[in-house]
Structure 1
Amino acid sequence: MALQPVVKRSVSGDVFEQIAADVLSGELAPGVSLPSERQLAEALGVSRPAVREALQRLAAAGLVAVRQGDATTVLDYRRGAGLEVLPRLLVQRGELEPAVARSILEARLHNGPKVAELAASRLAEAAPRSTPDARPASAKMPRTETNAPAAQRDTVREALENCIAALAIEEDLVAQQRHAMEFWDLVVDAADSIVFRLMFNMLRAAYEPALAALAPIMSAEVGNVGAYRELAAAIVAGRPQEAADTARALLEPATTALLEVLDGPRARFT
Structure 2
Amino acid sequence: MAWTPVVKRSVSGDVFEQIAGEVLGGELAVGSALPSERQLAEALGVSRPAVREALQRLAAAGLVSVRQGEATTVLDYRRSAGLEVLPRLLLRGDTIDPSVARSILEARAHNGPKIAELAAARVRRVNAEHGSATTTGADSASGARAQVVAELAALRGRAEALAAATDPVAGQRIALEFWDHVLELADSIAFRLMYSMLRAAYEPALAALAPIMSAEVGNGDAYRDLAAAIAAGAPDRAADSAHALLGPATAALIHALDGA
User: TM-score scaled by structure 2?
Assistant: 0.92
SS in 2 for 1:23: helix
User: Which residue of structure 1 aligns with residue 182 of structure 2?
Assistant: 187
- Aligned AA (1:89): L
Cα shift at 1:166: 2.3
Distance in 2 separating the partners of 1:185 and 1:169: 19
User: Which residue of structure 1 aligns with residue 77 of structure 2?
Assistant: 77
Distance in 1 separating the partners of 2:29 and 2:96: 21
Kept in 1, the 8 Å contact 2:151–2:184? The answer is: no
User: Which residue of structure 2 aligns with residue 268 of structure 1?
Assistant: none
Cα shift at 1:264: 3.0
User: Which residue of structure 2 aligns with residue 139 of structure 1?
Assistant: none
User: Which residue of structure 2 aligns with residue 214 of structure 1?
Assistant: 209
Cα shift at 1:146: 4.5
User: Which residue of structure 1 aligns with residue 96 of structure 2?
Assistant: 96
Distance in 2 separating the partners of 1:129 and 1:19: 53
Give 1 or 2 for the bigger CA radius of gyration. 1
Distance in 1 separating the partners of 2:193 and 2:158: 21
Which among 232, 245, 252 is matched to residue 250 of structure 1?
245
Q: How many residue pairs get matched?
A: 251
User: Which residue of structure 1 aligns with residue 231 of structure 2?
Assistant: 236
- Aligned AA (1:19): I
Superposed CA RMSD: 1.6
User: Which residue of structure 2 aligns with residue 113 of structure 1?
Assistant: 113
Asked whether 1:58 is paired with 2:58, we answer yes
Kept in 1, the 8 Å contact 2:116–2:182? The answer is: yes
Distance in 2 separating the partners of 1:174 and 1:41: 42
Q: What does the per-residue CA deviation read over 1:111-143, in whole Å, with 9 as the maximum and x for residues that have no partner?
A: 00010001111111111269xxxxxxxxxxxxx
Q: Percent identity?
A: 70
Kept in 2, the 8 Å contact 1:86–1:202? The answer is: yes
Distance in 1 separating the partners of 2:18 and 2:149: 48
Cα shift at 1:154: 2.1
Q: What does the per-residue CA deviation read over 1:41-73, in whole Å, with 9 as the maximum and x for residues that have no partner?
A: 000111111101100000000000111111111
Distance in 2 separating the partners of 1:75 and 1:109: 30
Cα shift at 1:150: 4.7
Distance in 1 separating the partners of 2:199 and 2:50: 30
Distance in 2 separating the partners of 1:68 and 1:81: 21
Cα shift at 1:93: 4.0
Q: What does the per-residue CA deviation read over 1:191-240, in whole Å, with 9 as the maximum and x for residues that have no partner?
A: 10111000000100100011001111111100111111110111111100
- Aligned AA (1:21): G
Kept in 2, the 8 Å contact 1:83–1:199? The answer is: yes
Cα shift at 1:3: 2.7
Q: What does the per-residue CA deviation read over 1:165-198, in whole Å, with 9 as the maximum and x for residues that have no partner?
A: 3222222211110000000011011110111000
- Aligned AA (1:122): R
User: Which residue of structure 1 aligns with residue 136 of structure 2?
Assistant: none
